[in-house]
Chains A and B, each alone.
Chain A
């Protein structure tokens, strides 16, 4: 089946690292994504990783993929108050046609 799960809340102090975790069930995943949603806005693509990669780094963002355990994580280094938002994990699957499945989102609170 297709399911993406993430914890609902994470609170960190400004300057610390944030780690947001996600698990997925569909083994046909091709690409996995992290999207960010700020209040009153649509989702914005942060980064993505192809399913045959283990890690991808992009400035303050590090994505780790454990395909065996179907586990994806997003690490934000030196978290800032401007990083406060909802972060969505998503997978691109091909089951009867392509579609992108999203988790419920993790709300990140950054305390000054």
Chain B
């Protein structure tokens, strides 16, 4: 079974630009969660999608958005990039039940200059 695939692996953007990150979950998984990882803050929950609906959202500004497609693939978008958005963005897929075991991708390393 293929794992969680995130593209691209690395991104360099400048302030004010926007960026779209992609995540393909494990086949059969209907839930995709996104996290932001920074050295100082650890993993911060962005949002979770299940069957194309956002089920939960973390405390991030509206510049951070996401969506999920009918094939469970997900994208997240960050508009008007700021220097502080530089981070590793991790996607995790799961089946979507109560006792969730998250399977993570290798992440997209975003650098904002």
Binding site for B on A (CB under 8 A): 30-31, 33, 35, 40-45, 48, 50, 88, 92, 96-105
Contact = CB atoms under 8 A, between A and B. Distances in A.
A66 B7 CA distance: 40
B90 A43 contact: yes
Contacts of A104: 41-43
A82 to B, nearest CB: 19
Ordered nearest first, which 4 A-B pairs have the shortest CB separation?
Answer: A42-B104, A104-B42, A97-B56, A102-B43
Contact of B56 (A43, A45, A98): A98
A104 B58 CA distance: 16
Interface stretch (B14-22, B61-69, B78-86, B95-103): B95-103
Nearest to A41: B106
Nearest to A86: B42
Given A40-B106, A98-B56, A105 B101 contact: no
B42 A98 contact: no
A97 B48 CA distance: 9
A98 B48 contact: yes
Could you say which of B33, B35, B98, B100 has the most chain A C-beta atoms within 10 Å of its C-beta?
B100
Contact of A43 (B58, B99, B100, B104): B104
B25 interface: no
Contacts of B92: 42-43, 100
Contacts of B107: 42
B32 interface: no
